[in-house]
Chains A and B, each alone.
Chain A
């Protein structure tokens, strides 16, 4: 059974600081997604990572994937208040589980002035 674990689950940051959210998964992954969720809202897709060594960046967020270590990271650079949200990683194991996503627990990020 595929398990996906994120850490930390809660992250309180000061504006301007850097931090990394980690996502570990237990079996071979076909692709990995990062989503953002604002309170009371649905999931917004941030990144999809397809292969080992993949790195994608959008604004202050950068995601990477190491399939050998079964690890993805979401790095936040110079945090601003607007980044406050819950961030989820999700793994698509492919094969017979094609498209079915297994989610991490989510990381609640709060950015303070």
Chain B
């Protein structure tokens, strides 16, 4: 069956621009997670959704970062006024219970 998909796969943007990253989870998975992978910080948790609610946003690095999930399915991670330190691979994972299935990631480069 279809796995977790993310789009775009690569995004290059200029400092100060806003970007939107999309995650399509596996159908029926109620939980959705965003992580960030960067050379300096490794793999970091950003936010967790259960359905459309986000009970844990503790990993969002600043108020420039926000995320939403609609219809218990697609999620969008938005980064406003991007900075060079936002350059990373953004991974999405979905889960029916606890085990997480990861998408291919979006590589974000901020020039």
Residues of B within 8 A of A (CB): 31, 33, 35, 42-45, 48, 56, 59, 91, 93, 95, 98-105
The answer on a CB contact under 8 Å between A43 and B48 is: no
Chain A residues touching B, range: 20 to 34
Q: How many A-B residue pairs have C-beta atoms within 8 angstroms? Tell me.
A: 46
A103 touches B43 (CB 8 A): yes
- Chain A residues with Cβ below 8 Å from B48 are 99-100
Which A residue's beta carbon lies closest to that of B45? A100
Top-6 shortest CB links A-B: A103-B43, A43-B102, A42-B102, A42-B104, A100-B45, A105-B42
CB distance from B79 to the nearest CB of A (A): 20
Instruction: Decide if B99 touches A45 in the complex (CB within 8 Å).
Output: yes
The reply on A61 being an interface residue by CB < 8 A is: no
A48 to B98, CA, bound (A): 10
Interface positions of A (Cβ within 8 A of B): 31, 33, 35, 41-45, 48, 88, 90, 92, 97-106
Measured between beta carbons, the chain A residues less than 8 angstroms from B104 are 41-42
Most chain A CB within a 10 A radius of its CB, from B43, B45, B95, B99: B43
Bound CA span A97–B93, Å? 16
User: Is A48 a contact of B99 with CB atoms below 8 Å?
Assistant: yes
A99 to B34, CA, bound (A): 12
- Point out the residues of chain A lying under 8 angstroms from B101, CB to CB: 45
